[in-house]
Amino acid sequence: MTTVEKVEEQLAGLRIARRCVPSEEPAYLLDIHTSSTAQAGSSRWVAVSCSNESLRVYDRDTLRCLRQYGGRGGVLAGVRFAHTCDSLVFSACSRGTVKCWDVRSATQEPVQVFTGYPSNVFISFDVSCSDLIVCAGTEKVEKDSFLVFWDARGITDCVSTSKEPLGVYSESHNDDITKICFHPIEPNLVVSGSTDGLVNVFDINKDNEDDALISTCNSDSSVSSLGWSGEGYKQVYCMTHDEGFCWWDMAQLDTEEPITLLHVLDVRESVCTENHGLHYLVGGFYHEKAGKLFLIGGTSTGDIHLISCSTDGLSLVGTLCGGHSATVRSFCWSPTDESLLTGGEDAQLLLWKPGAVERSLTKKASLKISSSVQKRVRVHNTSLKSRKK
């Protein structure tokens, strides 16, 4: 059995190890991130951004909720832990700020607030792998949408200080900037995706936006998710709001070879899932050990599909059933223990491990929340028309 086959068998064998105790105020779990490997004797944290405008921090091993921040302070767009200081957690806000909290502190106040410009409504963000730069993407206001950058150094020097931007990119997208993702190992590289269909790769070490723009790829639709993959993370992939998938090889930019590895207009029609169906895509992750890109999708009743990517097409690896009872909105893959965290519209946070036996006493319950909490939460749109630039 090859390494890839072993990894695919392991993924298909994921089982529920833990469920979090449902919150008193159920909410959609929109994004999940885990802190980096903790020091000996300390536990890792899980941060979750929720549809009720709050950010929750859980113990990684027990899924017990330890902290809750925000609430009624604006819609949160994503959550990220710092890479070099695992107690710092960031989230962007629709009210034009990116906030950073220290989860070791009992205070609700952020240790740093990165302020944008008055018209900015942030709907995406990321932190560079060196923790030196924070970047957030805005909704389109009038004719403008921006990538806003800040210097993130010196966060722990003083409490609740405010930082103004280093600068912005304003020419490369002409609609809402829905996703931003820094390169995992090269802190100067960042990729952005937009409802204009464009996926742009920048080298932010360059002096100006024109020089910084390395590549522009067209997904032909509104970008819902994106990331880096491949050896050395030289590939970029994206998913679209109408469930398309694109995959490009940036290593071919200076060659005569085509950079497109795969373009699937509708993954729902190309992946055979037998009786389960595939209703949407959530995102992807690159498995370094297998050297392979995997996608995660699912059904409206909570089944989770694991999908393998190759230049020949997409194939179903396995389906995780019996966990969620509604649409899965977020996940986080952990390469250290090869586990998967998932969050959904049923307000449940689940930890999946290979061959696990569930230890939680909490029974599975249908907690699908009224659609009224969807306000300003971006959903997959099956009727969205493809946009071409």
Q: What are the angstrom distances between the C-alpha of 335 and each of 54, 56, 230, 332?
A: 27, 22, 15, 10
- What residues have CB less than 8 Å from 199, skipping those under 6 apart? 191, 192, 193, 216, 217, 218, 219, 223, 226, 236, 238, 246, 248
Residue appearing with tokens 């319950």: 365
- What is the reported pLDDT for 74? 83
pLDDT single digits (tens) 42-97: 568 999 999 999 999 999 999 999 999 986 678 899 999 999 988 999 999 999 99
- What is the reported pLDDT for 24? 79
DSSP state string for 78-112? EEEE-SS-TTEEEEEETTTEEEEEETTSS-SS-SE
- What is the reported pLDDT for 384? 38
Backbone angles phi, psi at 61, to 5 degrees: -85, -40
Task: Output the tens digit of pLDDT for each of the chain's 389 residues.
Answer: 899 999 999 999 999 999 997 777 889 999 999 998 655 445 689 999 999 999 999 999 999 999 999 866 788 999 999 999 889 999 999 999 999 999 998 888 899 999 999 999 999 999 999 999 999 999 999 889 999 999 998 775 455 578 899 999 999 999 999 999 999 999 999 999 999 999 999 999 999 999 999 999 999 999 999 999 999 999 999 999 999 999 999 999 999 999 999 999 999 998 876 667 899 999 999 999 999 999 999 999 999 999 999 999 999 999 999 999 999 999 999 998 899 999 999 999 999 999 888 764 444 444 444 443 444 444 544 433 333 33
- What is the reported pLDDT for 155? 73
Pairwise CA distance, residues 47 & 20, whole Å:
13
- What is the reported pLDDT for 28? 95
Backbone angles phi, psi at 52, to 5 degrees: -90, 20
The edge-to-edge listing of strands for the beta sheet with 65-70 is 29-34, 45-50, 54-59, 65-70
pLDDT single digits (tens) 263-301: 999 999 988 766 678 999 999 999 999 999 999 999 999
Tokens of 45: 């944290």
DSSP 8-class letter at 212:
H
Over the Cα atoms of the chain, what is R_g? Answer: 20
